[in-house]
Chains A and B, each alone.
Chain A
């Protein structure tokens, strides 16, 4: 519980720079959040509007996929190209997703009852 409190002295220029950057980041987060809500609305609307199931199922899955990418890149900061070892992190995320996808594919296709 003995955290040293960290004090950082910032110059006026730095302060303004961070303020501007934070404002830009917040703007982008809110925008992304709005897009996500919009996509969710579209998904619900397509289900409620009684379109053919053969259209609704892949369409909703596609929207879900877009939201996963948004989640990873906008809210979990994978878009930050300067982050430490971001290349390795992206490789592991997408590599894991690809491998997990084959498992889902297998469970949906070749497992019989």
Chain B
């Protein structure tokens, strides 16, 4: 039993977080872990930019540069953007649909721990003989011949954290379909819930191909198979297809929730209903579907043939249509609104032109003949950073400011936020705008240095200065977070004053069961409707106060994840790998390798068996306890004093 209004010792607090199945606490853990890996990957990017600041620089060696660029890409996409979006999905989606938790709280916790231990495993590579160095795409023709254990860390780490992502994705699909409050029909769902649903569906369909690809790579590298080895009758192109069948939807997995976050932010600060709600929903689904039909546009230059190139070029260009619908809907939501330019709104206003720029260069690359020119140049780097930083990172920063009051009952500083936005935003455009031209001038991507006097020197210098500004922006945001810890608690509902969806109807700090009574949703933007009718409680209820059924905490998800972590070391040091046999990677005896795999998977399976055999039916919070908790909370909100343990 846990309540916000009760004091707890440090050890009890740590144990609570290790075992928690509460979606709000898992959201905080996702946020913390995602921020950590975001900082690490950002630092790697800064090292790369410092290396490229001047021609023929020797700040880092070529090998280190390859490791930096691989880890930057891999970490940013799998271990920073994904968990940060999961943080907001966990924190907000159950509140938006009027649910007390996600459908499978145990799996929610398992998803987090698998992701986290997979991420830690991948990062251990830095201390254990070198990080992966074949790019985040890890093309088989390169990665199969990479000496050392770098690629093995990539394969095993992503396999573990990918399983966690898949589990979380399934959890959100089931949550959004089955756990909506009475009256919350599909066409009344807020846009962030809709985009989370579509993005989770993409996870469900896109991660299995990655799992297959990674598994084939695993047996190729560590157990002597030859799926991708053309000298043994394999085919290296199969990896590229499997990777991009996953990799292209992955981009939409990340950007769709970001679209959803902006679709929440913009109506609140334009103080107007979202323009074209049903077309927004339709566009989201269409983007999700088309996202699966375009993967080969990453491989135009591998020789697919003119027919395949033409089909994938046209399919790619059609994605611009639903995306354009969304952009026009956002603009028309702002148009004529009574606009309040707060920090989240600043990020939204900065997002629209930046993301459109990234989209336009995307359509340019979709033209297969032009792509032969742009392929593997800095133009590509500029394009996808415009999409990812301009689309996803601005959404994450804006949403952090927007949802901080609900997640932490504190507000982030507005003035510092505005300063952070401008430094970050100017730094972002300085860094990446000129990279378009570097690409057109012929600078190839993924090079660790370049010769001077080719007309690239000045642009690279400016790019590095911009990257440093982005770094300063991130540090300011972290400072803002630290300052907010010591600020006054808000203890109120609807912090921005113009909240529209259900999450703003809740008074912070939230009790662990979110809703004392399940709300009744009477239309789109339910909190707005209640406010218009003068309802002081922010919602009408679908049921009388009754016993609430809640899940028990469990340490088993962490134990299961540690099992896979141990098994991964067994596979990593396998003596049957090509590199181990060639003597370019260290290995252990066959007995120890198999022993570690059996031990690790044994722990995981044992924990699964324990979970299956021992029925865990959760517990009921009885009406008297609910009333006591609500009384404690009311007293805490009024006086700021926490009660003791009862």
- Given the complex of chains A and B, what is the CA–CA distance between A3 and B612 in angstroms? 12
Residue among B177, B245, B293, B296 making CB contact with A110, cutoff 8 Å: B296
Q: Residues of A contacting B308 with CB < 8 Å?
A: 109-110
Q: Residues of B contacting A88 with CB < 8 Å?
A: 177
Please give the distance in Å from B64's CB to the nearest CB on chain A. Answer: 35
Residue among B292, B293, B303 making CB contact with A112, cutoff 8 Å: B303
B304 at the interface (CB under 8 A from A): yes
Which stretch of A7-15, A23-31, A96-104 is in the interface? A96-104
Are the C-beta atoms of A111 and B235 separated by less than 8 Å? yes
Are the C-beta atoms of A111 and B237 separated by less than 8 Å? yes
A92 at the interface (CB under 8 A from B): yes
Residue among A1, A85, A110 making CB contact with B305, cutoff 8 Å: A110
A52 at the interface (CB under 8 A from B): no
B553 at the interface (CB under 8 A from A): no
Q: Residues of B contacting A111 with CB < 8 Å?
A: 235, 237-238, 241
Tally of contact residues, B, Cβ under 8 A = 22
Q: Residues of B contacting A109 with CB < 8 Å?
A: 308
- Given the complex of chains A and B, what is the CA–CA distance between A103 and B245 in angstroms? 8
- Given the complex of chains A and B, what is the CA–CA distance between A110 and B238 in angstroms? 11
Are the C-beta atoms of A112 and B614 separated by less than 8 Å? no
Do A2 and B205 contact each other (CB < 8 Å), given the known contacts A85-B178, A109-B308, A111-B237?
A: no
In this complex, what residue of B is CB-closest to A109? B308
Contact with A along B276-295 (1 / 0, CB 8 A): 00000000000001001100
Q: Which 9 pairs show the lowest CB-CB distances between chains A and B? A: A110-B308, A99-B292, A110-B304, A88-B177, A99-B205, A111-B237, A113-B235, A96-B205, A2-B615
A94 at the interface (CB under 8 A from B): no
In this complex, what residue of A is CB-closest to B299? A110
Q: Which residues of chain B (231-265) have a CB below 8 Å from chain A?
A: 235, 237-238, 241, 245
Name 28 A/B residue pairs within 8 A (Cβ), A-sorted: A1-B614, A1-B615, A2-B615, A3-B615, A84-B178, A85-B178, A88-B177, A92-B201, A92-B204, A95-B201, A95-B205, A95-B289, A96-B204, A96-B205, A99-B292, A102-B293, A103-B209, A103-B241, A103-B245, A106-B296, A107-B241, A110-B304, A110-B305, A110-B308, A111-B235, A111-B241, A112-B303, A113-B235
B613 at the interface (CB under 8 A from A): yes
Please give the distance in Å from B638's CB to the nearest CB on chain A. Answer: 43
- Given the complex of chains A and B, what is the CA–CA distance between A22 and B292 in angstroms? 42
Please give the distance in Å from A56's CB to the nearest CB on chain B. Answer: 28
- Given the complex of chains A and B, what is the CA–CA distance between A105 and B526 in angstroms? 45
Q: 7 more A-B contacts (CB under 8 A) besides A99-B205, A103-B241, A109-B308? A: A1-B613, A92-B204, A95-B289, A99-B292, A110-B296, A110-B308, A112-B237
In this complex, what residue of B is CB-closest to A102? B293
- Given the complex of chains A and B, what is the CA–CA distance between A67 and B614 in angstroms? 38
Please give the distance in Å from B293's CB to the nearest CB on chain A. Answer: 6
Q: Residues of B contacting A84 with CB < 8 Å?
A: 178
Please give the distance in Å from A47's CB to the nearest CB on chain B. Answer: 28
- Given the complex of chains A and B, what is the CA–CA distance between A3 and B204 in angstroms? 32
- Given the complex of chains A and B, what is the CA–CA distance between A112 and B292 in angstroms? 21
Q: Which residues of chain B (295-318) have a CB below 8 Å from chain A?
A: 296, 303-305, 308
Q: Which of A's residues lie within 8 Å of B, judged by CB? A: 1-3, 84-85, 88, 92, 95-96, 99, 102-103, 106-107, 109-113
Q: Residues of B contacting A96 with CB < 8 Å?
A: 204-205
Please give the distance in Å from B233's CB to the nearest CB on chain A. Answer: 9
- Given the complex of chains A and B, what is the CA–CA distance between A109 and B613 in angstroms? 48
- Given the complex of chains A and B, what is the CA–CA distance between A103 and B205 in angstroms? 12
Q: Residues of A contacting B245 with CB < 8 Å?
A: 103
- Given the complex of chains A and B, what is the CA–CA distance between A104 and B237 in angstroms? 15
- Given the complex of chains A and B, what is the CA–CA distance between A107 and B212 in angstroms? 14
Are the C-beta atoms of B296 and A102 separated by less than 8 Å? no
Q: Residues of B contacting A113 with CB < 8 Å?
A: 235
Residue among B177, B303, B614 making CB contact with A85, cutoff 8 Å: B177
Do A106 and B241 contact each other (CB < 8 Å), given the known contacts A88-B177, A113-B235?
A: yes
Please give the distance in Å from A94's CB to the nearest CB on chain B. Answer: 12
Q: Residues of A contacting B292 with CB < 8 Å?
A: 99, 102
- Given the complex of chains A and B, what is the CA–CA distance between A1 and B612 in angstroms? 10
- Given the complex of chains A and B, what is the CA–CA distance between A106 and B302 in angstroms? 14
Q: Residues of A contacting B201 with CB < 8 Å?
A: 92, 95
- Given the complex of chains A and B, what is the CA–CA distance between A85 and B173 in angstroms? 12
- Given the complex of chains A and B, what is the CA–CA distance between A39 and B289 in angstroms? 34
Please give the distance in Å from B608's CB to the nearest CB on chain A. Answer: 16
Q: Residues of B contacting A95 with CB < 8 Å?
A: 201, 205, 289
Please give the distance in Å from A109's CB to the nearest CB on chain B. Answer: 7
- Given the complex of chains A and B, what is the CA–CA distance between A3 and B616 in angstroms? 11
- Given the complex of chains A and B, what is the CA–CA distance between A99 and B177 in angstroms? 21
- Given the complex of chains A and B, what is the CA–CA distance between A70 and B385 in angstroms? 48
Please give the distance in Å from B290's CB to the nearest CB on chain A. Answer: 11
In this complex, what residue of A is CB-closest to B238? A111
Please give the distance in Å from B196's CB to the nearest CB on chain A. Answer: 15
Q: Residues of A contacting B209 with CB < 8 Å?
A: 103
Most buried by B among A95, A99, A106, A113: A99
- Given the complex of chains A and B, what is the CA–CA distance between A3 and B245 in angstroms? 44
In this complex, what residue of A is CB-closest to B308? A110
- Given the complex of chains A and B, what is the CA–CA distance between A95 and B614 in angstroms? 36
Q: Residues of A contacting B238 with CB < 8 Å?
A: 107, 111
Most buried by B among A2, A85, A95, A110: A110
Please give the distance in Å from A33's CB to the nearest CB on chain B. Answer: 30
Q: Residues of A contacting B289 with CB < 8 Å?
A: 95
Please give the distance in Å from B354's CB to the nearest CB on chain A. Answer: 30
Please give the distance in Å from A105's CB to the nearest CB on chain B. Answer: 11
Q: Residues of A contacting B296 with CB < 8 Å?
A: 106, 110
Please give the distance in Å from B138's CB to the nearest CB on chain A. Answer: 18
Q: Residues of B contacting A92 with CB < 8 Å?
A: 201, 204
Q: Residues of A contacting B615 with CB < 8 Å?
A: 1-3
- Given the complex of chains A and B, what is the CA–CA distance between A2 and B209 in angstroms? 40
Q: Residues of A contacting B237 with CB < 8 Å?
A: 111-112
- Given the complex of chains A and B, what is the CA–CA distance between A110 and B245 in angstroms? 14
